[in-house]
Amino acid sequence: MLKQETFKPENYYILVVDDISINLKLLKVVLEPIGYRLMFAKGGYQAIERVKASKPDLILLDLMMPEMDGLEVCKLLKSDPEYAEIPIIFITASNEEKHIVNAFELGAVDYINKPFKTAELFARVRNHLLLKHTIEKLKSTQIDLEKALAEVQKLANTDALTGVSNRRSLFDFGHQEFDRASRYGKALSILLMDLDNFKKINDNYGHQIGDKALCALVKIIKNTIRNVDFLGRYGGEEFMAILPGIYGEEAFILAERVRKKISSNIIETDKGNLPLTISIGVSTYSTKDKNLEDIILRADQAVYEAKQQGRNKCCSIYSNFK
């Protein structure tokens, strides 16, 4: 719940609009001692200028005025998103039903007849200012909550160390793309990438350097794959890139590009330079695949082959993709 705050009239600006000077003076005598900050306009055109210059918190608007009446002023302000949220209370001697109906249809929040009762005026002005303040606080709170929710969702879907998507987010995207591939015959490939000798890196250089190596790896991969590709941490030192729209041969070329860029990267440590290499398995969607896991299984087998061939290799299993 919102914390209830003490109502302070001095925090609010009220624009009083009336073409008759004595009416302006009367409202000044009534409202100023309460603490409200007032500004005045003697007609519709001047009222529009005052609103644009100072954007008051509330407008007390006379209905019957020459040149531009209160209804026209209300219509113009409510049609502009910049000023549409300013509450307008009509104060008028008119008792005609059509005037009252028109005022509310145009967006006025209240209607007070002249001669007004001071206590009634105080109550209505205060209530509508409080309502405006509460609505603004609620909107602000909603924005803060939406930002907080977006941040929580981002944290829930992100690997804390490397900043790429985590396994859950990776599989959510992968299942979505598998459904598109199987339903519409779209191409889909996967790169499964395993940093070589990661255990030795941790043992010989320490876990801090191991973390640095993973982050460097991710940066290179992100800068090499396409914008439409989805990169995530599969687990430990393994990362997966899901590549929509390309078959295995194109995916293999991309994998080779990633491998070469990583192998040319060196991490400086207090124990000397640390070269990085990676083994990559490439696989592509086949119409025989029942689910995403079938493609991942082939990619995993291809990674194993790359390791068996001495690491720093790209291997592929995609010959039956059509």
59 shares a domain with 183: no
Q: Is the pLDDT of residue 322 over 60?
A: no
Cβ partners under 8 Å of residue 296, min gap 6: 174, 190, 192, 240, 283
Per-residue pLDDT, averaged over 261-276, amounts to: 88
Per-residue pLDDT, averaged over 189-196, amounts to: 96
Domain boundary, last residue among 118, 147, 176: 147
Produce one character per residue of 235-263: b if its CB has 16 or more CB atoms within 10 Å, e if not: eebbbbbbbbebbbeebbebbeebbeebe
86 shares a domain with 130: yes
205 shares a domain with 118: no
Say what the pTM is.
Answer: 0.61
305 shares a domain with 172: yes
Q: Is the pLDDT of residue 2 over 60?
A: no
pLDDT, residue 296, reads 96
pLDDT tens per residue, range 22-69: 999 999 999 999 999 999 999 999 999 999 999 999 999 999 898 899
- Mean pLDDT for the chain overall: 91
Asked if 73 and 83 count as a contact pair (C-beta separation under 8 A), the reply is: no
Per-residue pLDDT, averaged over 284-313, amounts to: 95
Q: What's the full length of the chain, in residues? A: 322
Domain boundary, last residue among 85, 113, 147: 147
pLDDT, residue 1, reads 42
pLDDT, residue 160, reads 87
Set 10, 32, 120, 237: catalytic member: 237
**Considering the chain, what percentage of its residues have pLDDT values greater than 90?**
72
From the list 263, 258, 14, the residue with the least C-alpha distance to 128 is 14
227 shares a domain with 132: no
310 shares a domain with 180: yes
Domain boundary, last residue among 147, 179, 198: 147
Per-residue pLDDT, averaged over 164-180, amounts to: 95
* Cα–Cα distance, 320 to 286 (Å, whole number): 7
pLDDT tens per residue, range 100-159: 888 899 999 998 988 888 999 999 999 999 988 888 888 888 888 888 888 888 778 899
Residue 237 annotated to the active site = yes
First-to-final CA distance of the chain: 59
Domain count, the chain: 2
Per-residue pLDDT, averaged over 215-227, amounts to: 95
Is residue 154 assigned to a domain? no
What the block records as the tokens of 90 is 């009509």
* Cα–Cα distance, 199 to 270 (Å, whole number): 18
121 shares a domain with 72: yes
DSSP calls for 101-117: HHHHHTT-SEEEESSPP
Is residue 57 assigned to a domain? yes
137 shares a domain with 78: yes
Per-residue pLDDT, averaged over 72-97, amounts to: 91
What CATH number should be reported for the domain holding residue 230?
Answer: 3.30.70.270
If residue 29 lies in a helix (H) or strand (E), which one and from where to where? helix 21-31
Q: Which domain holds residue 196?
A: 167-317
Is residue 1 assigned to a domain? no
288 shares a domain with 205: yes
Q: Is the pLDDT of residue 206 over 70?
A: yes
Produce one character per residue of 112-146: b if its CB has 16 or more CB atoms within 10 Å, e if not: beeebeeeebbebbbebbeebbeeeeeeeeeeeee
pLDDT, residue 5, reads 61
Residue 3 CB-half CA count within 13 A: 2
